[in-house]
Structure 1
Amino acid sequence: MSLIIGIVMSVGFILFAVILDGDSPTELIGVSAAMIVLGGTGGAVITQFGIGRIGIALKAVKTLLKPPKTDIPAFIANIGDWSNLARAQGSLALETVLEGTEDPFQKKGLQMIIDNTSQEDLHTIFGILSDNEYRADMKGAEFWEAAGGYSPTIGVLGAVLGLIHVMTRLDHPDELGAGIATAFIATVYGVGFANMIFLPLGAHIASLAKARKQERHIVIQGFLLLSEGKSGTLIRQNLQSFVTDQKKKDKAADKGVEAKLGEAEEQAA
C-alpha cells in the first residue's frame, strides 16, 4: 500500500504544482519522449542484465505489495518447543513437526537436525543458503537501481534529439517555443521516472532483502543452538536478545538519519 501511496503522492503533487502555475498537465504529455526514455532505459538494462531479469524485477515489485516475512516471535516460541522435544525424545522426534512447517528455510533446518548434521556443516550450509536467497532478493533491486541510473541520461538524450529537430525548423520561428518545450519533456520523464519510481523501487526492494537476511540470521542462530542441545528456555532467551539488539540498531539508525536531516536544515537556514 505504501508503494502505491508514495507514487501517487509524488506524481500528484507535481501535477498540482503545474496546475497552480496556470499550466495544463496535458502539456507534459509526450508520446515520443516517453518512448525514448522507457524504450532506451529498458534496452539499457536488458543489455546489462539480460531479458530474463525483467520478470524477476516485476515479481520483486509484486512482493512489495505483500512482503514475505518470517514470524520471528512464532519461530522463537516454536524452536523452544522443538528443543524440548528433541531433548526428551531424540532428534528423530522432530519428524512429527517437519511436515507442519511451511517455511522452507526452517524446514531445511529441521531436516538437517533430524539427519544429525554436524554444527560446522549446519553453519556452512545455512550460510550458503542465506547468501543465495539474499542474492536472489537483490536481483530485482539491482534492475530498478540500474534503470534509475540510465533514465536521466536517456532523458537528456531525448531532449537533445528534440532540440535537433527544432533547429531544423528555424525557418518557422513561431514554432520554436513549443518545439523547445516539447524537447525538454524527455528530460522531465527521465528524471521523473528515475527519482519517483525506479530508484525508490530499487531502494525499497533492497531494504526488504536486508530485512529478510536479518530474519534468516536469527533463524540460523536458533538452529545452531538447537544442534548444541540447548534447552528451550535458553534458546528463547538468546534469540530474544538478537531481536532486542536489532531493534536498538534500527533506532540508532533512525536517530542518525534524523541528526543528518537536522544538520542539513541548520545549514540551509
Structure 2
Amino acid sequence: MDILTLVGLVAGIFIVIMAMLANASLITFLNLPGLAIVLGGTFAVTLVKFRMSSVTSAFRLALSAAFTDRVERPEALIREVGELAQVVRKEGILGLENHQTSNAFLQKAINLCVDGHMPELVEEALAQDSRQMAERYEVAERVFRGIGESAPAIGMLGTLVGLVQMLNSLDDPASIGPAMAVALLTTLYGAFIAQLIALPLADKLQLKAEDESRNQVLITTSMRSIMGGENPKVMTELLSSFVTPDQRTRLTPERET
C-alpha cells in the first residue's frame, strides 16, 4: 500500500477539520443545499465531459494505483532481467519457460519470447500494451483534473445563488443567515474537493504513469538485448541509465558477478 498517499489525504482533511473546530462546531460548516449544489453539479459536469465508463474506470484506477505501491523499483527489475539474461546465455530462450514473475508486463514479454515470436513482433506487442496502459492513466488523470477544475467553479455558482437569495430576502433577517451560509460554504466545498482530493490524485496518477512507463521501457529494452544475445554484464551496464547514480553503485556487485 502507498501509505504516503493515504497519510497525505487524511492529514490534509484532518488539518482543515481541526481549523474548523477551533472556534466553532463542525455542524456550523454543514450545509446540505450547498453540498448538494457542489457534489451534484460537479458530478453532472464530469458526466458531460467524460463517458460514464471513463469515470468509473478512473476511480477504480485511482484506488488500485494511487493507493497501492505496486510499481517495482528499476534496480530490482534490472537485477531480475540480468538473471534472465544469464539463464538465456546458458540454456537458450526456452530456459525461461518455467520462470514466473510478479510483474505482469515482464511475464508477458517472457511468454512471447518463449513462444518463439520474432523480436520485432515481441517489441511491437509490448509497445502496444504500453500505449494502452498510458492511455488508461491519461484518461483517469484527465477525469480527476476535470473534477478539480469543475468543483471550485460550481462552488462559485453556489455562492452566486446564495448571494441572490440573500439580496432577495433583505427584508427578512431570519433568512439572511441560511442564504449567506450557502453563499460561503459552497466555495469552501468546491475548494476542498479540488485541492485536497481531486488534484492531488491526478498528480499521483501522473507520477504512477511515468513510473510504469519507465519500467516498461526498461523491460522492452532488456528483452530486445536478451533476444539479440547481448552480454548480460553489458546489458546491465546499459540499463543502469534507468536509475540514479546512487542506485547504480548498488548494482555494481551484480555487474561484477
Q: Do these two structures clear the TM 0.5 threshold for a shared fold by scoring above it?
A: yes
Moved more, 209-218 or 5-14: 5-14
In structure 1, C-alpha distance between the alignment counterparts of 2:185 and 2:68, rounded to whole Å? 34
Moved more, 5-14 or 190-199: 5-14
1:152 corresponds to 2:143? no
Deviation at 1:147, TM superposition (A): 0.3
Aligned to 1:96, the other structure's residue is in SS state coil
User: What are the superposed Cα offsets for residues 182-219 of structure 1, whole Å, 9 maximum, x if unpaired?
Assistant: 32211111112111111111111111111111111111
1:56 corresponds to 2:57? yes
State the AA in 1 paired with 2:90: A
Contact 2:38 2:155 in 1 (8 A): yes
Deviation at 1:138, TM superposition (A): 2.7
Moved more, 160-169 or 140-149: 160-169
In structure 2, C-alpha distance between the alignment counterparts of 1:109 and 1:199, rounded to whole Å? 34
Partner in structure 2 of residue 119 of structure 1: 119
Alignment of 1:63-212 (within 5 A): 63=64, 64-97=66-99, 100-212=100-212
Partner in structure 1 of residue 44 of structure 2: 43
In structure 1, C-alpha distance between the alignment counterparts of 2:105 and 2:246, rounded to whole Å? 20
Distance 1:3 1:120, change over 3 A: same
Contact 1:147 1:194 in 2 (8 A): yes
Moved more, 181-190 or 110-119: 110-119
State the AA in 1 paired with 2:236: R
Moved more, 195-204 or 60-69: 60-69
User: What are the superposed Cα offsets for residues 21-78 of structure 1, whole Å, 9 maximum, x if unpaired?
Assistant: x333322111111111111111111121111223212212322222321253343233
Contact 2:158 2:182 in 1 (8 A): no
Deviation at 1:94, TM superposition (A): 2.1
Deviation at 1:174, TM superposition (A): 4.8
For the aligned residue pairs, the C-alpha RMSD in angstroms reads 2.3
Partner in structure 2 of residue 23 of structure 1: 24
In structure 2, C-alpha distance between the alignment counterparts of 1:140 and 1:36, rounded to whole Å? 24
In structure 2, C-alpha distance between the alignment counterparts of 1:84 and 1:61, rounded to whole Å? 37
* Identity %, equivalent residues: 22
In structure 1, C-alpha distance between the alignment counterparts of 2:25 and 2:224, rounded to whole Å? 62
Distance 1:83 1:3, change over 3 A: closer
TM-score of the two chains, using structure 1 as the length reference: 0.81
Distance 1:29 1:246, change over 3 A: farther
Task: Identify unmatched segments of 5+ residues in structure 2.
Answer: 249-257
TM-score of the two chains, using structure 2 as the length reference: 0.85
